[in-house]
């Protein structure tokens, strides 16, 4: 008998090889190759999947807002770039139990209320389980089509027969094609299933959402080719010990990838957080050293966050450095700048830096607030609780300008702050603009010492 031909796939990037390799030459990851049988294509195909549309001139193609479905969830629409694009394929990833299915079910509820034809396909839950979640969320007034199936061929037949406007697939790892002999969730199955859904979305103009599980590293399980095939990649982030959730776009062909949506998980489902700054500053201590408020920009949205630092003497030869919510290497860089430019000895101190609320901030505007928090904790001095600080710090200790300073100042004013310490260049750009709060522009980090009580 002829031996079945197999091939080796990289689980991370989808690279193919005829033999097993310890290290992937494409993504340079170790021990990621799996053996799977070669997909054999039969010579038949469905004529209904052939795109018979004629080419259209670029000038006659419409890009009006009617090509998007507005869900009514402002946070969700913001991340997508203004709504669900017709004929788009969206991948939603996140940790188990983070709320992906709940979010998509709420989107289905809002879309059904707008008289849209929506199909929810679940390969992990029965129809009874979905009904129980829908009753917990509440507010379903329309007829949502539910379908519990893992065979993608059957799902494809239902979609081509019903032709819904929006389809939810939960999840892509549970779907399997009969033509592929590999197990569900494998590289071959995930890639083949996504290809079928992509063809359905583009051929019939159906907006399809697919849920993808994530690995322990926080990336979508399966080949990275999956992220290249879809139009939009959304990650649902959050801490299991906190009720807030952040929806972030890491790829978006129809909008910005810098926008985020903030939600709060409640018993009745996910609720939008219209004012994330107020939410992030809840529980901020008063009169404590090492606590500084900074303003970060997430896309076009300013968010006030609390930066905390704890500096204490160590009894070991190697001091400990810990960073939560920001870049660890950036913390080491700022500590070196403080030691060199201000003469403050931190080599015999442990340094713990935390961005309160669980947010992950990587923009350089956080530098000046971190420096102020470190100095405040080291000197056991308090920064005025009505003061907000932001700015980028260079290796020579200079304070460099940041973008969108007007939006940051306006957000601080709205939250009741009376003083803003910012780069001198940003203050000069606002000399002709009247601001009710006091603006203090500085050029070097040594100037911030006088504002730490």
Residues annotated in a binding site for ATP: 94-101
Q: Which residues are annotated as a binding site?
A: 94-101
- The span from the CA of 100 to the CA of 236, in Å, is 7
**Inter-CA distances, 306 with 53, 215, 330, 372, 437, Å:** 54, 30, 17, 12, 19
| Cβ proximity of 109 and 251 under 8 Å | no
- The span from the CA of 199 to the CA of 49, in Å, is 7
- The span from the CA of 378 to the CA of 13, in Å, is 46
Sign of the torsion formed by the C-alpha atoms of 354, 355, 360 and 363: negative
Q: Which residues contact 5 (CB under 8 A, 6 or more apart)?
A: 37, 38
- With residue 352 as reference, give the H or E element that holds it: strand 349-355
Q: What are phi and psi of 253, to 5 degrees?
A: -75, -10
DSSP character string of 101-136: HHHHHHHHHHHHHTT--EEEEESSS-HHHHHHHHHH
**Inter-CA distances, 93 with 124, 227, 250, 251, Å:** 15, 10, 11, 12
């Amino acid at each position: 008998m002829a031996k079945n031909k197999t091939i080796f796939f990289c689980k991370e990037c989808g690279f193919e090889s005829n033999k097993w390799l310890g290290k992937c030459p494409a993504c340079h990851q170790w021990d990621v190759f799996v053996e799977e049988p070669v997909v054999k294509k039969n010579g038949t195909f469905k004529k209904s999947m052939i795109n018979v549309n004629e080419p259209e001139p670029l000038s006659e193609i419409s890009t009006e807002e009617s090509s998007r479905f507005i869900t009514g969830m402002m946070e969700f629409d913001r991340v997508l770039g203004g709504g669900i694009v017709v004929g788009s394929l969206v991948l939603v990833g996140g940790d188990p139990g983070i709320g992906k299915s709940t979010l998509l079910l709420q989107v289905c509820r809002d879309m059904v209320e707008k008289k849209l034809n929506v199909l929810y396909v679940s390969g992990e839950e029965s129809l009874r389980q979905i009904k129980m979640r829908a009753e917990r969320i509440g507010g379903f007034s329309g007829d949502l089509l539910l379908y519990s199936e893992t065979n993608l061929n059957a799902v494809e037949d239902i979609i081509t027969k019903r032709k819904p406007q929006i389809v939810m697939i939960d999840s892509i790892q549970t779907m399997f094609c009969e033509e592929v002999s590999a197990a569900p969730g494998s590289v071959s199955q995930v890639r083949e299933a996504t290809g079928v859904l992509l063809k359905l979305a583009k051929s019939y103009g159906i907006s399809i959402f697919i849920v993808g599980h994530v690995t322990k590293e926080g990336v979508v399980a399966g080949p990275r080719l999956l992220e290249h095939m879809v139009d939009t990649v959304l990650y649902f982030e959050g801490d299991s010990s906190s009720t807030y959730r952040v929806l972030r776009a890491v790829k978006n062909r129809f909008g910005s990838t810098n926008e985020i949506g903030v939600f709060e998980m409640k018993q009745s489902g996910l609720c939008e957080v219209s004012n994330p700054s107020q939410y992030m500053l809840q529980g901020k201590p008063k009169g404590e050293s090492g606590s500084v408020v900074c303003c970060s920009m997430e896309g076009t949205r300013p968010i006030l966050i609390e930066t905390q630092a704890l500096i204490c003497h160590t009894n070991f030869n190697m001091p400990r450095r810990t960073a939560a919510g920001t870049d660890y290497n950036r913390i080491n860089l700022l500590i070196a700048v403080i030691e060199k430019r201000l003469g403050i000895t931190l080599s015999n101190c442990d340094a713990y830096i935390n961005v309160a609320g669980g947010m992950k901030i990587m923009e350089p505007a956080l530098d000046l607030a971190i420096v102020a928090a470190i100095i405040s904790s080291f000197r056991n001095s308090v920064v005025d609780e009505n003061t907000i600080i932001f700015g980028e710090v260079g290796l020579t200790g200079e304070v460099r300008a940041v973008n969108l300073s007007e939006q940051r100042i306006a957000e601080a004013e709205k939250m009741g702050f009376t003083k803003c310490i910012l780069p001198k260049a940003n203050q000069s750009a606002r000399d002709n603009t009247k601001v009710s709060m006091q603006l203090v522009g500085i050029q070097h980090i040594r100037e911030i010492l006088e504002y730490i009580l």
